[in-house]
């Protein structure tokens, strides 16, 4: 039987981890508005490349001896995660050019419901009945969020839906690869891969646009330091100290916060039908993750 001290220590560790994850949720909720603002002066793929290039440099400064010293296995695993991370960011960022920050956040949040489906395919882990109900609810929510009465489904919504599926794959593979791998090595490998893919794809697939401004520079600095370097490292380090269910509940707050930021800073209004759709998506996430096995 575990002693009371062991239980208290475990609860303290979990509370600390969940406080970090909640802080990340606030940061990530702000990124949709800031990224949409930046896209007025910088093309999406070069934006990703610059953001992760700065992240790579800063991470190397934070961990000068450890960042590049990982074993080949960590770089291989981190490379796979980096490809998925880049594809997720690319589809989301390009999609932001065609849809609102609020819609982007709610659709991206559907990754929590897609994750059990990916687990079924990759890890042969059967979904719970609550997962199935959750998929139904978020599908209905997506319909209302992008209905003609609200704002019709467009290219940006489709790309963000692809982003949600990609991030779901990322979560599953992170769960698989993080076991026995150092968080610093995995994170650094992901930053390097995203940087390389960002610059190469920008040169190949888009007309590079970059208009330097002071506000834009400060925004990229914030997104790099807080939403990339600190956020991804903290997620890799602390998510294992709580349960996937509790993490999912915390992350489900993100689109609500993003909608609030979009309203305050961009004047975006979802409308009654859109709010209903967003509520159904959040409800579907909670049903999917809180239902019993």
> Does residue 19 form part of some domain?
no
Q: Which two tokens mark 130?
A: 């609550």
> Does residue 14 form part of some domain?
no
> Does residue 3 form part of some domain?
no
Structural domain for 199, as ranges: 24-290
> Does residue 232 form part of some domain?
yes
Give 42's strand partners. 210
Answer for the pair 80, 173: CB distance below 8 angstroms, yes or no: yes
- pLDDT value for 48: 94
Three-class SS of the chain:
CCCHHHHHHHHHHHHHHHHHHHHHHHHHHHHHHHHHHHCCCECHHHHHHHHHHHHHHHHHHHCCCCCCCCCHHHHHHHHHHHHHHHHHHHHHHHHCCCCCHHHHHHHHCCHHHHHHHHHHHHCCCCCCHHHHHHHHHHHHHHHHHCCCCCCCCCHHHHHHHHHHHHHHHHHHHHHHHCCCCCHHHHHHHHHHHHHHHHHHHHHHHCCCCECCCHHHHHHHHHHHHHHHHHHHHHHHHHHHHCCHHHHHHHHCCHHHHHHHHHHHHHCCCCHHHHHHHHHHHHHHHHHHHHCCC
Whole-number Cα distances in Å, 2 to 10, 12, 16, 175, 200: 11, 15, 21, 26, 53
Mean pLDDT by 10 residues, the chain (293 residues): 58 75 84 87 92 91 76 85 94 90 82 76 70 75 64 83 90 78 84 95 91 88 88 76 64 78 77 77 72 58
- pLDDT value for 89: 93
Whole-number Cα distances in Å, 197 to 11, 61, 201: 40, 22, 6
> Does residue 96 form part of some domain?
yes
**Distance between CA atoms of residues 198 and 105, nearest Å:** 22
- pLDDT value for 258: 82
**Distance between CA atoms of residues 272 and 71, nearest Å:** 52
- pLDDT value for 195: 96
Q: Which residue in the block uniquely carries the two structure tokens 């509940």?
A: 249
197-209 burial string, b = 16+ CB within 10 Å, else e?
bbbebbeeeeeee
Single out the residue of 91, 134, 84 nearest to residue 249, CA to CA.
134
> Does residue 2 form part of some domain?
no
> Does residue 186 form part of some domain?
yes
Structurally, how many domains does the chain consist of?
1
Give 210's strand partners. 42
pTM for the full predicted model: 0.80
**Distance between CA atoms of residues 286 and 29, nearest Å:** 18
How big is the chain, counted in residues? 293
> Does residue 226 form part of some domain?
yes
């Amino acid at each position: 039987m575990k002693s009371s001290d062991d239980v208290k220590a475990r609860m303290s560790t979990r509370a600390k981890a969940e406080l970090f994850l909640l802080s990340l949720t606030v940061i990530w909720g702000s990124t949709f508005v800031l990224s949409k603002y930046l896209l007025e002066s910088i093309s999406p793929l070069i934006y990703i490349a610059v953001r992760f290039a700065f992240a790579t440099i800063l991470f190397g400064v934070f961990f000068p001896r450890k960042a590049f010293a990982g074993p080949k296995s960590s770089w291989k695993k981190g490379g796979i995660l980096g490809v998925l991370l880049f594809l997720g960011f690319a589809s989301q960022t390009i999609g932001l050019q065609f849809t609102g920050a609020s819609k982007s956040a709610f659709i991206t949040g559907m990754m929590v419901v897609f994750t059990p489906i990916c687990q079924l395919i990759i890890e042969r882990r059967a979904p719970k009945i609550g997962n199935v109900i959750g998929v139904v609810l978020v599908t209905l929510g997506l319909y209302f969020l992008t209905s003609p009465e609200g704002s019709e489904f467009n290219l940006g919504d489709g790309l963000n839906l692809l982003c949600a599926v990609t991030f779901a794959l990322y979560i599953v593979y992170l769960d698989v690869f993080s076991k026995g791998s150092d968080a610093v090595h995995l994170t650094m490998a992901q930053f390097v891969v995203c940087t390389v893919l960002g610059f190469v794809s920008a040169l190949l697939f888009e007309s590079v646009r970059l208009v330097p401004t002071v506000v834009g520079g400060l925004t990229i600095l914030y997104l790099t330091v807080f939403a990339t370097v600190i956020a991804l490292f903290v997620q890799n380090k602390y998510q294992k100290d709580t349960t996937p269910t509790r993490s999912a509940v915390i992350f489900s707050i993100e689109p609500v916060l993003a909608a609030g930021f979009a309203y305050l800073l961009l004047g975006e209004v979802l409308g009654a039908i859109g709010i209903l759709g967003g509520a159904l998506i959040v409800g579907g996430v909670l049903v999917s993750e809180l239902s019993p096995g």
